[in-house]
Structure 1
Amino acid sequence: MNHARYEDDYIVGILRSVKTIALTGASPNPARPSNGVMGYLLSRGYNVIPVNPGQAGKQIHGQTVYARLADVPVSVDMVEVFRASEFLSGVVDEALAMSPRPKVIWSQLGVRDDAAAVRAEAAGIKVVMDRCPAIEYPRLIG
């Protein structure tokens, strides 16, 4: 897939089909984009599970934080990546080790690793890179 541009139907299909999102790089700091996006996604009815090893056991937006994707106790439809591009490959590795695997890996604005995307897609996982669901949702769904 060409990750330079996504069809609106592809993004809408993802946003309408996922229910549970693991948000890697979640921050308790309200000034951080991950915090705002997490709050927005919760307000839209998604179940958002924060993942951050430095915050494990604490809460962000009333949700318990887990250290790793492997620690999340429920099935996850989508992994939202708020980590730098050099960490995306590792997040894909963690997602590929999950059972069941997530349907989608979505990386935030500025986060891209085409080789990692190829690995995820080869395993049947949809990939969105360099986009923000808190921008795409109101743009496409309202």
Structure 2
Amino acid sequence: MPTQTPEAIRAILTSIRTIALVGASNKIHRPSHEVMAYLQGRGYRVIPVNPKLAGQQLLGETVYADLNSLPEPVDMVELFLAPERTGPVINAAIKLNVPVVWMQIGVINEEGARKAEAAGLTVVMDRCPKQDIPRLGVPPVTGGAL
């Protein structure tokens, strides 16, 4: 069962520092762009992942094609993808042993969540950190980009 309690969500958001945002967009009106900018403003390092934009710069960060291309380990993978496209990304997160897989609002993959949890990863599903951070009073990341 994905992690959904306020206490567990708050614990995740206060412990992570680096996020791979899969489905990052260079279109400023897209939710993934807005959430990336918000998380950066809160002090998180957000590495954008989008094969169509790989090699480009997005909000000061280089975009990577996939999780396997990332130059460093991340604490969380945030998925801004259609649910049917999340399976391969969840499998990559398992292989890379990323501690947290976070599926954005509307992104629900029960089978992928079970598989990730069975591999020891924490899964959050159908939630948005941009909504949870202020609601739960999560402080800005210390030692981050602020």
Counterpart-to-counterpart distance in 2, 1:74 and 1:95: 13
**What's the secondary structure of 2:29's corresponding residue?**
coil
**What's the secondary structure of 2:78's corresponding residue?**
strand
Give 1:139 shift.
0.6
Structure 1 equivalent of residue 104 of structure 2: 108
Q: TM-score when scaled to structure 1?
A: 0.94
Structure 1 equivalent of residue 30 of structure 2: 32
Give 1:88 shift.
1.5
Q: Does 1:89 pair with 2:90? A: no
Identical residues among aligned pairs (%): 50
Counterpart-to-counterpart distance in 1, 2:58 and 2:133: 22
**What's the secondary structure of 1:49's corresponding residue?**
strand
Counterpart-to-counterpart distance in 1, 2:137 and 2:69: 32
Q: Which moved more, 1:84-93 or 1:52-61?
A: 84-93
Counterpart-to-counterpart distance in 1, 2:93 and 2:99: 10
Counterpart-to-counterpart distance in 2, 1:49 and 1:10: 23
Give 1:6 shift.
1.7
Q: TM-score when scaled to structure 2?
A: 0.92
**Corresponding residue pairs, total:** 138
Structure 1 equivalent of residue 115 of structure 2: 119
**What's the secondary structure of 2:21's corresponding residue?**
strand
Give 1:97 shift.
2.0
1:39-95 residue CA offsets vs partner (Å, 9 max, x unmatched): 000000000000000000001101100001000011110000000000121111111
Structure 2 equivalent of residue 15 of structure 1: 13
Counterpart-to-counterpart distance in 2, 1:46 and 1:18: 8
Counterpart-to-counterpart distance in 1, 2:101 and 2:137: 20
**What's the secondary structure of 1:42's corresponding residue?**
helix
Superposed CA RMSD in Å reads 1.0
Structure 2 equivalent of residue 137 of structure 1: 133
Question: Where does structure 1 differ by over 6 angstroms across 4 or more consecutive aligned residues?
Answer: none
> Relative contact order (alpha carbons < 8 A, sep ≥ 6): 1 or 2 greater?
2
Counterparts of residues 20-99 of structure 1 (less than 5 Å): 20-98=18-96
